[in-house]
Chain A
Amino acid sequence: MAIEYMGLNNIQGPLVVLEGVDDAFYEEMVTVTLDSGEKRIGRVTEIAGDKAVIQVFEGTSDLSLTNTKTKFNGEPMRLPLSKEMLGRTLDGVGRPIDGLGEYFADEIRDVNGLPINPVSREYPNNFIQTGISSIDCLMTLIRGQKLPIFSGDGMPHDELAVQIARQAKVADADDVDGDKFAIVFAAMGVKHDVANYFKRSFEESGVLGKVVMFLNLSNDPVVERIITPRCALTAAEYLAFTHNMHVLVILTDMTSYAEALREVSSSKGEIPSRKGFPGYLYSDLASLYERAGIIKDSQGSVTQVPILTMPNDDITHPIPDLTGYITEGQITLGRDLHLKGVYPPVAILPSLSRLMKDGIGEGFTREDHQDLANQLFASYSKVEDAKSLASVIGEDELSDMDKKYIAFGKAFDDKFLRQGKDENRSIEETLNLGWELLKMLPKSELDRVDDKILAKYYKGE
């Protein structure tokens, strides 16, 4: 019989301190019972002598130094897992909130997960066709990759994530009825409308039965937010590596997550590093992002598409900055494209997919894919140069070559980037479209393409 401790010694923000504790362990879960009978859960975040510092997930309002009883549960934060989770909606710490009651657990796992041994990893090289030209051609998504969307407030990152989730499903050749596909969706500090948008979109495209939703909305407790992605990834790992499913994890919004981490850190009195974020922000984000991948001895995979809104569209802000150092590339959305009405507003120059090189080309997509992508990137960067020159001397004064680039840039935005929210282009269509656009430039400008490829695909003068 576990001891219950009466009262508390200190309450500070989301943290409470309990003294005289003897056998608590680090990251142990506790239950705090109020006099009213309300139960809250918390986690030990520091032990100093007989003092235990506890994070209370539901927040500390109504708590006093005398009106609580605290019980140590003897285990770290764990999540019950089952295939029945598919189609269910859970709160930020994994308790069902859809009114359908508890589900029967096959297994219970520590949500913190464990680092995957690099020797056990399978290097991902399986191309996922998202049907979105800019992504498929220039920053190809690979199964088992972590590829975040760097966005800003007011930009259509949610629409893009939904489109990826919906269209990525269809491309799997050996999974016609989509039995092996699942989506794990974790909302951290997002608005009700956003969560509803995702739910409705999944419903409309008929995949809702394949989705596990973890919702910590913007008015839910901040401390819970730190657990939410961990629960989601534990569920994803379980579905992928125990049930051999291909799991797409959408985490939104990582900025709220990092801010929650900062809030808790500051109430613990930790020494801040950049912009007040704790020094361990990198390690902490890595402990989430690194849970993507494919492991040997299993057929499944975990692919992550985290969404983060860059504060003030600043890509050097610590959250996008550290994320970019951990993830395998990024899809960056551009404000100017969005204002011009281009959907999806993918700013291709700061976007990148690191795993792309091994998942494209002959046998995966088409032999010309890499060269074409390199050429489009290189040519588009010249468009930017021409545009900045035009803004000084006016378009009329540009050299003929620069004018060609300006025209190429316009066509690229209109035909290649722009596409409908349910337009699903095959990779063949996308690549052909790319060559179609390169026709606007003379052959001598195409310096990134191998001669043989150029002879075969280039249709211009």
Chain B
Amino acid sequence: MAIANGTIFGINGPVVKVKGSDAFEMQEMVYVGDEELIGEVIGVTENETIVQVYEETTGLKKGEPVRGTGGPLAITLAPGILSNIFDGIERPLKDIRALSGAYVTRGLKVSNLDESREWDVEIKAAQGDYAHGGDIIATVQETSLIEHRVMVPPDISGRIEWVAESGKYKITDVIAKVSVGDEIKDITIAQKWAIKKARPYTERQPISRPLVTGQRVIDAFFPLAKGGAAAIPGGFGTGKTMTQHQLAKWCDADIIVYIGCGERGNEMTQVLQEFSELIDPKSQRPLLDRTVLIANTSNMPVAAREASIYTGVTLAEYYRDMGYDVALMADSTSRWAEALREISGRLEEMPAEEGFPAYLASRLSQFYERAGYVTNLNGTEGSVSIIGAVSPQGGDFSEPVTQNTKRFIRCFWALDKPLAYARHYPAIHWLTSYSEYLDELTKWYSENVAPDFMQKRERLMAILQEESSLMEIVKLIGADVLPDGQKATLEAARVIRVGFLQQNAFHADDTYVPLEKQNKMMDVILLFDKRIRECAEKGVVLSKVAESGIADDIIRVKYTIGNENIDAPFEALKDKINETFDRIIG
């Protein structure tokens, strides 16, 4: 096959026009200029080829060469991915630092993964076996937490003619030879995969298990399923990044892929630092051992921002194929959409809404559809859950990225500015958020937490709904004139908001709350609700309830009762609530 060669003809920001060859393929990876900057073909016409460059184009000259590679932009998949931090096209930032110091310079040649490191490889296949695409032929202990399963690339199947012995190998070493037709193919530990192509699986499974996060408003009110997709929209300062960090720390996925897409450099540094210090309570190992970070900060080249999302989801699918539950956090998908807009603008394409290209919706759907709970080619089950932050312009949810995202996700955690201003965190608003996974997950919650978990959730939601309509009146005439029954609702709603929905991410116990405790917290709140209503019905003055301070005892439960051995203290609290109300009612 002929490799295309051309020369630079025009430059506008990250968009470069190339003349001199008609052999470039769409989405082919190319080297641009004397410094061999990495680029991708995004348009081919009779006269010219259009390339977006993943690095700064300052200093590029007309007439410099552009060289094709004959294949699309692909990343390397092998051990060494976890606890690493990459840029948008899987170049390791630590190696870049070793080469170019504190700043990221251009045209750097680094390999995606460490090719000199020797791994302890345990071979699982035998000579003469028939290997299908996706079959696991070897394992490597990648980090203390995760066993890396080396798979046959999805597009290769055949008889294994030769396998290496277990031992120490580099990721470029051949560990098996497979006959495909008349051809013998070498299988190395590492495989390449084009980032814009979803990795294949056998079939999709129905959604059935929640992604447990330890965050009450999410687990109890708006749960996300393993294999599902969620969006967190919110203006600046409402806590998108904070919520993403909390999920990355505490959710019960096996692998976390965290993409910092067009966000702050200090935030990536923080994740890196914090995750290497934080210890996973279950395994006693640093959280970084199950995490891979992709950083394209807001001042890094805009074209690589577009790629970072695909790189992340490809890594996630690769670990899913091994049989793991993977959670992918993308912060923020709006920056990715803006990267599309910027490139589109430079190409002088006809804009649709607010300057975004008309293909915004189809790109978003392609991304979110890569989430799913599947049976892999090798028969294992795995999932990719996607949690995308959205940064709507002016905090206005009617803008195109939020609206288009809503069509492709089923779980919507709307962050609310007034809540954030009042420092009610997480500022996920209970009336504007929703989860379509509730029905599918009801069975799991009934079997694994409490049979009436969903009923209790509905009751709490109903109280909050009622509060919201009462607040309309309170805003006009004050709470004092309401009848006692409605005052009781307001008090119960306050306890739910402050005691249950508000969660302190900086408190040692409250940062992660197991489902069992969430369930018991709901129980005591509902008991309080029942008893205060009883007071109202019997005509007892409600200020007596306030004076007793029992509401504050319930609100403080998140701090006063830890996460373990919770049965006795909760029983004691229930007794106290009953005693207090018995005394008040008399």
Closest to A444 in B: B552
CB interface residues, B 543-566, toward A, < 8 Å: 546, 549, 552, 555-556, 559-560
Task: Name the contact of A119 in the complex, choosing from B56, B235, B272 (C-beta under 8 A).
Answer: B272
Q: Are B556 and A120 in contact (CB under 8 A)?
A: no
Chain B nearest Cβ from A282, distance in angstroms: 6
Q: Are A120 and B101 in contact (CB under 8 A)?
A: yes
With contacts A116-B103, A279-B355, A295-B102 taken as known, whether A76 is within 8 angstroms of B94 at the C-beta atoms is: no
Q: What residues of chain A lie closer than 8 Å to B298, measured between beta carbons?
A: 282-283, 286-287, 289-290, 326
Q: Are B11 and A26 in contact (CB under 8 A)?
A: yes
Q: What residues of chain B lie closer than 8 Å to A358, measured between beta carbons?
A: 270
Chain B nearest Cβ from A449, distance in angstroms: 10
Q: Are A279 and B338 in contact (CB under 8 A)?
A: yes
Over the window 7-49 of chain A, the binary record of Cβ atoms lying under 8 Å from chain B Cβ atoms (1 yes, 0 no) is: 0000000000000001111111000000000000000001111
Q: Are A272 and B355 in contact (CB under 8 A)?
A: yes
Closest to B101 in A: A120
Q: What residues of chain A lie closer than 8 Å to B479, measured between beta carbons?
A: 399
In Å, the complex CA distance between A398 and B475 comes to: 12
Q: Are A123 and B270 in contact (CB under 8 A)?
A: yes
Q: Are B396 and A316 in contact (CB under 8 A)?
A: yes
With contacts A76-B58, A271-B348 taken as known, whether A450 is within 8 angstroms of B300 at the C-beta atoms is: no
Task: Name the contact of A389 in the complex, choosing from B268, B421, B475 (C-beta under 8 A).
Answer: B475
Q: What residues of chain B lie closer than 8 Å to A349, measured between beta carbons?
A: 421-422
Chain B nearest Cβ from A323, distance in angstroms: 9
In Å, the complex CA distance between A381 and B425 comes to: 14
Q: Are A326 and B60 in contact (CB under 8 A)?
A: no
Q: What residues of chain A lie closer than 8 Å to B338, measured between beta carbons?
A: 279, 282-283
Q: Are B59 and A116 in contact (CB under 8 A)?
A: no
Q: What residues of chain A lie closer than 8 Å to B559, measured between beta carbons?
A: 450-451
Q: Are A321 and B394 in contact (CB under 8 A)?
A: yes
A interface SS class: mixed
Q: Is A262 an interface residue (CB 8 A)?
A: no
Task: Name the contact of A293 in the complex, choosing from B97, B100, B266, B507 (C-beta under 8 A).
Answer: B266
Task: Name the contact of A118 in the complex, choosing from B265, B302, B478 (C-beta under 8 A).
Answer: B265
Q: Is A96 an interface residue (CB 8 A)?
A: no
Q: Is A102 an interface residue (CB 8 A)?
A: no
Over the window 270-297 of chain A, the binary record of Cβ atoms lying under 8 Å from chain B Cβ atoms (1 yes, 0 no) is: 1111100011101100110111010111
Q: What residues of chain A lie closer than 8 Å to B506, measured between beta carbons?
A: 357, 370
- Contact residue range for chain B? 35 or more
B interface SS class: mixed
Q: Are A121 and B10 in contact (CB under 8 A)?
A: no
Q: What residues of chain B lie closer than 8 Å to A357, measured between beta carbons?
A: 506
Q: Are A116 and B393 in contact (CB under 8 A)?
A: no
In Å, the complex CA distance between A184 and B584 comes to: 66
Closest to A48 in B: B10
Chain B nearest Cβ from A36, distance in angstroms: 31
Q: Are A279 and B97 in contact (CB under 8 A)?
A: no
Closest to B95 in A: A119
CB interface residues, B 4-39, toward A, < 8 Å: 9-13, 17
With contacts A25-B61, A271-B355, A296-B102 taken as known, whether A119 is within 8 angstroms of B395 at the C-beta atoms is: no
In Å, the complex CA distance between A354 and B551 comes to: 32
Q: Are A279 and B9 in contact (CB under 8 A)?
A: no
Q: Are B237 and A324 in contact (CB under 8 A)?
A: yes
Q: Is B105 an interface residue (CB 8 A)?
A: yes
Chain A nearest Cβ from B549, distance in angstroms: 6
Closest to A381 in B: B422
Task: Name the contact of A23 in the complex, choosing from B9, B63, B345, B348 (C-beta under 8 A).
Answer: B63
Q: What residues of chain A lie closer than 8 Å to B265, measured between beta carbons?
A: 115-116, 118, 121, 290, 293
Q: Are B102 and A116 in contact (CB under 8 A)?
A: yes
Q: Is B273 an interface residue (CB 8 A)?
A: yes
With contacts A46-B11, A48-B10 taken as known, whether A114 is within 8 angstroms of B103 at the C-beta atoms is: yes
Which residues of A are in contact with B by a Cβ distance under 8 Å?
22-28, 46-50, 76, 110, 112-124, 144, 241, 270-274, 278-280, 282-283, 286-287, 289-291, 293, 295-298, 316-318, 321, 324-326, 328-330, 349-350, 352, 354-355, 357-358, 370, 374, 377-378, 381-382, 388-389, 392-393, 397-399, 402, 444, 447-448, 450-451
Instruction: List, sorted by A's number, 29 A–B pairs whose CB atoms are closer than 8 Å.
Output: A24-B62, A26-B11, A110-B58, A112-B58, A114-B56, A115-B265, A118-B85, A118-B260, A118-B268, A119-B96, A120-B97, A271-B348, A273-B341, A273-B345, A274-B355, A283-B338, A283-B342, A290-B265, A290-B297, A290-B298, A295-B102, A316-B395, A321-B394, A326-B298, A370-B506, A378-B422, A392-B475, A393-B476, A398-B478
Given contacts A280-B342, A321-B394, A377-B423, 11 further A-B contacts (CB under 8 A): A47-B62, A118-B268, A119-B94, A119-B272, A120-B103, A121-B265, A278-B345, A283-B302, A283-B338, A388-B475, A447-B555
